[in-house]
Amino acid sequence: MVKAKKSVKAGKSPKAVKSVTKEKALKPAKPAKAAGGPKYLVIVESPAKAKTINKFLGKDFKVVASMGHVRDLPKSRMAVDIEHDFTPEYIIIRRAFQTVKQLKKDAEGKEILYVAPDPDREGEAISWHLAHIFSEQDKEQKILRVEFNEITKDAVLKAFDHPRAIDMNLVDAQQARRILDRVVGYQLSPLLWRNVGRGLSAGRVQSVALRFIVDREREIRKFVPQEYWTLDAKLSASEGSAKEVVFLSRLTHVDKVKPELKGQAEIDRIKQELPKLPFQVSNIEKTEKRRKPQAPYSTSKLQQEAYSRLGFSAANTMRIAQRLYEGVELGAEGSVGLITYMRTDSVNIAASAQQEAARYIREKFGKDYLPEKPPVYKSRKGAQEAHEAIRPTSAFRIPDSLRDFLEADELKLYELIWRKFLASQMTPAVDEHTAISILAGEKYGFRTTGKRNVFLGFTAAFGEIKVEKENPKDAEEEEVPEALELPDLKVGEKLTLHELLGEQHFTKPPARFNDASLIKLLEEKGIGRPSTYAPTISTILGRMYAERKGGAMIPTELGETVVDILVEHFPKILDAEFTALMEEELDSIEEGKAGWVKVLKDFYGPFSEYLARAQTEMKSVKQAPIPTDYKCSLCGKQLFIKFGRFGKFMACAGFPECKFTRSIPTGFFCPEPGCGGELLKRKAKGRRAFYGCSNYPKCTHVANELPKKEDAAEKDASSEAP
C-alpha cells in the first residue's frame, strides 16, 4: 500500500529537511498591507512564462519570475553533513540575490503567494525553497502550490481553482538526487584532479554514459570485418506482358539451404550454371499488414527523433521546446504556450485533447482516418502517469499558421510534435506485402519482395517512419531488396534472365553513439531521467571526454583514461545495472515508499569503502612533460607536450614566467598558397573542434576536417615540381 503523501501546510515553514541558510544580508522586511493593487503574488521560473500566464489572470494577480532555482548547495564545497543524516546546507545563489530581494518586496502585503514552477520534481523543489524564504519573512504567510501541464487559459484557470500544498515526496525525491550526485561528484572529482588532471569531474549518470561511449569505441577497434557476397538476378516475365517489368530477385537457397557466399570464385561458379537453367515462379504470397501509429512523444523519444529527422542535438531540442512551452508572441493573440510540458516520460493524453484531435482529423482527413476509440498507449515502467505526453496545446493550431511568428528551428520542432500527436490519434496504415519465390532448376531458390500501400492511415499526417536497424553482422541478416514495382505474375510462370549481379560486402562494426542512440540506450537501461539526458551529453562533450565527428561521439584519450580509472576503483558506480537499481530507489522516494535518508545511507556505506581504498590505492596516470623540437615564439625556450583537462597541448619550458601555449601540430600544412603554416586542432567556446593555421591571425584558414592524405601528398608533390 502506498503511503499518503506528505505535504507542507500553507503558511508554515517547511521543516521536513533540516537546512542551514546564509541570508544575513536579506533581513526580513515587515509586511505592510497594500492599499488597492494586486492581492496575490504568483511566482514562476521565467519571464516568458510569467508574461504568458499574466494575461489569463485578473488585476488581483501579479506574476513574477524567480529565474529558476533561488537556493542551492554552494559550489565551493560539498555542503552535505554526511554524519548527520546528509543534512544539506543551502544558500541563496549569488545570481539570485537581487531576485530574492525583489521577490520579498513583491510579497509584502499579499494575501496569498502562489508558487507555480514546472510540474516535476525540480519545480516542486523550487516551490519548496521559495516557501522557505517567504516563511522566514512572514511565518503567517499563506503559500499554495499551483501546477499546470500546459500554459493555456483553461489549464491555468483550472489550476488556480484547485491549488494544493507542496508535495514533500517530490521535494525529497529531488533533494535525494541532488545530494547523492553532490556526494558522488565532490568525492570522486578530487581523486581525478590528483591522479589525472585538474578540472575533471565524475558523476553518477555521466560516468556510466561515458563508459557506454568508450566501450562501443573499443568494440569498433576490435572488430574484424568478414567478407560475404550476395547474388541478384535481373528477371522479367517471358511473354504476354504489355509492359516488360524488370525486377531483382536475390539468391536465398542452394539445395534448400541458405548459402554462405564467401568469395568471387564461388559467385563465378554459380553464375556459369544459372544461365543454363529455367527460371520459374514457384510461389506467391500476398498478405495485408496493419502498421499502428506510434505513441505521442515522451522527452526521450522527442530528443531521438529531433536528432534523426531534424539534426538537432538533445540540448538544442530542449531549449527550443522550453520556448514553445513557455509561450511565443502570436501577434494580436499575445503570448501563447504552444506545447505541453516537455519533460515527461508519460505517453498519456488528456481526454479533452483527444476529442479536439478527433474533430480536426474528421474535418481534415475524413471519418475513415478516425478510430472508433482513441488509441491507448502504454508508458514505460516508472513513468509519471499523472503527466501527459508532449503535444500541441491545440490541434487546430496548424504549423503553417505560425510561420510568421516562429524561428525556423522552432517551426520545425513544433511541426514534428504536432504531426506526431495527430498521427497517434489516427487509424493504422494498411500495406499489401508480396513475396515471390522463384526456382532456377531444382537447385537454386530466389526471393523477391514488394510492398504497396493500400490505406494511408496515420501516415497521411506524419509520413513514413524510418526504422533504424543495426548493421547486419553476417550474410544471413542481409535483407532481400524490396522491388519498387512488381509485374503481375502467376505460379508456374516462366521468367527471362537478363543479368546476374554478384556484389561483395563486408560486415560492419557497431555504429558509434550519437545523441539519439545514446539516449535510447540510457532509457532502455533505466539510467537517468528525461531531464538528465541532454545535460549529461553536454557535460561529456564539454569536459572533452568525447568529441563529435559528424553526429557521432568519439571518446578522447582523456575520456578513456577517466573511465578506466573509475571502473578499476569504483566498479559499482560505473555498473549500468547498479545505476538503474539506484534510479528505482530514488523513484520510490517520490512514491512515498522509501525515506530519502535511508536510501542515501544504503548507498553511501559501500561507496565510502570504495572511496577509502581508492584514496590509498589509486595511482597517478599523469604523464611527465615530453620535450619537442619546437621553440617558444615569445621567449625562444623549448616547448614541451603537457597533459591537461582538454587533452595534450604544448607549453613553454619557462612556465610560470612564460605562459605561452599552443596546440599539438597535426602533421598537415596549411593549404593556402605561400603560407607554410601548420594546421592545429583548436576548439572555441560553444562550437565543435576545428583546424586552424598556426600563422593566425596572418592566415585565417580554418576547416572542419583535415585534408585527406592523398590530397596533401599531391599538393606537396606539385609544390616541389619545377
Name the DSSP letter for residue 257. B
Which residues are registered as beta bridge partners of 548? Answer: 553
Q: Is residue 574 packed enough to be buried (19+ CB in 10 Å), middle (13-18) or exposed (0-12)? A: buried
Let me know if 414 is a catalytic residue: no
Q: Kindly write down the DSSP assignment for every residue of 388-410, as one continuous string.
A: PPB-BS-TTS-GGGGTTTS-HHH
Name the DSSP letter for residue 77. S
The answer to whether the beta carbons of residues 679 and 699 sit under 8 Å apart is no
| Cβ count within 10 A of residue 462 | 20
Q: Kindly write down the DSSP assignment for every residue of 632-700, as one continuous string.
A: -TTT-PEEEEEEETTEEEEEETTTTT---EEPPEEEEE--STT--PEEEEEE-TTS-EEEEETTTTT--
- Longest CA pairwise span in the chain (Å): 103
Q: Is 547 helix (H, G, I), strand (E, B) or coil?
A: strand
Helix locations, 138-167, DSSP H: 153-161
State the residue for C-alpha cell 553476417. 474
Pairing of the two strands 661-662 and 647-652: antiparallel
In angstroms and rounded to an integer, the radius of gyration of the C-alpha atoms of the chain is 32
**Cα separation, 297 vs 523, whole angstroms:** 14
Single-letter code of the amino acid located at 569: H
**Cα separation, 125 vs 679, whole angstroms:** 49
The answer to whether the beta carbons of residues 567 and 574 sit under 8 Å apart is yes
The answer to whether the beta carbons of residues 489 and 284 sit under 8 Å apart is yes
Q: Is residue 101 packed enough to be buried (19+ CB in 10 Å), middle (13-18) or exposed (0-12)? A: middle
Q: Is 125 helix (H, G, I), strand (E, B) or coil?
A: helix
Pairing of the two strands 40-44 and 61-65: parallel
**Cα separation, 468 vs 459, whole angstroms:** 17
Burial 609-627 (b: 16+ CB within 10 A, else e): ebbeebeeebeeeeeeeee
Q: Is 355 helix (H, G, I), strand (E, B) or coil?
A: helix
**Cα separation, 15 vs 133, whole angstroms:** 12
**Cα separation, 539 vs 553, whole angstroms:** 13
Name the DSSP letter for residue 367. G
Beta-carbon contacts of 367 under 8 Å, excluding residues fewer than 6 positions away, are none
Residue 551: half-sphere exposure toward Cβ, Cα within 13 Å: 17
The answer to whether the beta carbons of residues 157 and 129 sit under 8 Å apart is no
State the residue for C-alpha cell 504476354. 240
Q: Is residue 54 packed enough to be buried (19+ CB in 10 Å), middle (13-18) or exposed (0-12)? A: middle
**Cα separation, 511 vs 307, whole angstroms:** 16
Q: Is residue 551 packed enough to be buried (19+ CB in 10 Å), middle (13-18) or exposed (0-12)? A: middle
Please, what is the end-to-end C-alpha distance for the chain in angstroms? Answer: 89
- Catalytic residue (one of 341, 360, 369, 691): 341
The answer to whether the beta carbons of residues 473 and 317 sit under 8 Å apart is no
The answer to whether the beta carbons of residues 614 and 565 sit under 8 Å apart is no
**Cα separation, 22 vs 136, whole angstroms:** 12
Length in residues, the chain: 722
Rounded (5°) CA angle 575-576-582:
95
Catalytic residue annotation: 341
